[in-house]
């Protein structure tokens, strides 16, 4: 009963003769042999796959629930909450560090004691770092020929003006080879409002000075709080200074004590 294929080109017979022929063809499709689907085995396999999936799903739920519970506990207990808040503050501080320090620079680490030094200012008076203990010190290694230094010096003058009454001081350590010969006219011209000294290798080496400008923020205990190689991030730096100074009233008393 092979249909005459030429007749079916008009499509009209498709649903009748040709259609029946197609139905007949498809009807011959049958599973091979005496095979019968095994329902019990199928159901067992289904359950196996389902429980595997269910467990996979639950593992995630458990992990998320455990994490959420840990967070809640951490925030519910005051001592942990403080810890978390401190962590948060620290991470905040890290993300807005006052500038970049590349890994190959042997700068002092945060928390290390800033090496003491005694150098002379333009009047010949001693400037001793340890004398500033109790104040927040911004130590800036610079030179008159250093372009980046010229950019940040006005900022440093701004910080000095704004925060000196709260126990903050900038110390500029000039690394000019010819010393006061270059620096004195520069100070006269720019009218720097903070102490400037001429640095020596003996002083710069412990600070890991490799390139300029380089800036250290030193806390009231004389420990390094932040480092920047290159031009400081002005806003982050100011933010950090304010953090180190603490609330205005408390640092006033501390300042008087010292």
Q: Which residues bind another protein (CB under 8 A)?
A: 1-2, 5-6, 8, 11, 14-15, 18-19, 21-23, 25-32, 35-39, 41-43, 45-46, 49-50, 53
User: Of 18 and 213, which has the nearer Cβ to another protein?
Assistant: 18
Tokens linked to 240: 């950090």
User: Of 49 and 106, which has the nearer Cβ to another protein?
Assistant: 49
User: Of 36 and 91, which has the nearer Cβ to another protein?
Assistant: 36
Least Å distance between CB 64 and another protein? 20
Least Å distance between CB 24 and another protein? 9
CA-nearest of 118, 127, 135, 107 to 215 is 107
d(CA 223, CA 203): 16
Least Å distance between CB 43 and another protein? 6
d(CA 163, CA 248): 10
Least Å distance between CB 101 and another protein? 52
User: Of 4 and 178, which has the nearer Cβ to another protein?
Assistant: 4
Least Å distance between CB 53 and another protein? 7
CA-nearest of 181, 193, 195 to 154 is 193
User: Of 45 and 109, which has the nearer Cβ to another protein?
Assistant: 45
Dihedral of the alpha carbons of 251, 164, 140, 208, in degrees to the nearest 10:
-20
Tell me how crowded residue 42 is: count the other CB atoms within 10 A of its CB. 10
Tell me how crowded residue 184 is: count the other CB atoms within 10 A of its CB. 14
Least Å distance between CB 59 and another protein? 17
Which residues contact residue 66 at a Cβ distance below 8 angstroms, ignoring those fewer than 6 apart?
none
User: Of 44 and 71, which has the nearer Cβ to another protein?
Assistant: 44
b (16+ CB within 10 A) / e for 58-92: eeeeeeeeeeeeeeeeeeeeeeeeeeeeeeeeeee
């Amino acid at each position: 009963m092979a249909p005459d294929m030429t007749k079916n080109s008009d499509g009209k017979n498709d649903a009748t003769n040709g259609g029946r022929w197609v139905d007949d063809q498809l009807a011959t499709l049958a599973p091979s042999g005496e095979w019968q689907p095994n329902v019990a085995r199928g159901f067992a396999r289904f359950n196996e796959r389902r429980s595997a999936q269910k467990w996979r799903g639950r593992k995630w739920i458990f992990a998320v629930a455990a994490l959420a519970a840990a967070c809640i506990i951490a925030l519910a207990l005051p001592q942990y909450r403080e810890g978390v808040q401190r962590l948060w503050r620290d991470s905040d501080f890290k993300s807005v560090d006052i500038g970049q320090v590349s890994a190959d620079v042997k700068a002092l680490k945060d928390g290390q004691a800033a090496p003491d030094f005694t150098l002379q200012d333009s009047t010949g008076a001693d400037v001793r770092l340890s004398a500033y203990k109790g104040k927040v010190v911004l130590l800036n290694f610079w030179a008159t020929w250093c372009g980046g230094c010229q950019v940040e010096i006005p900022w440093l003058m701004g910080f000095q003006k704004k925060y000196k009454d709260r126990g903050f001081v900038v110390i500029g350590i000039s690394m000019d080879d010819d010393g006061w010969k270059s620096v004195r006219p520069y100070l006269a011209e720019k009218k720097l409002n903070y102490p400037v000294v001429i640095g020596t290798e003996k002083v710069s080496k412990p600070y890991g000075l490799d390139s300029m400008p380089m800036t250290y923020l030193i806390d009231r205990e004389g420990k390094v709080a932040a480092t920047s190689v290159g031009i400081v991030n002005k806003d982050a730096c100011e933010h950090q200074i304010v953090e180190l100074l603490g609330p205005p009233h408390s640092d006033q008393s501390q300042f008087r004590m010292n």
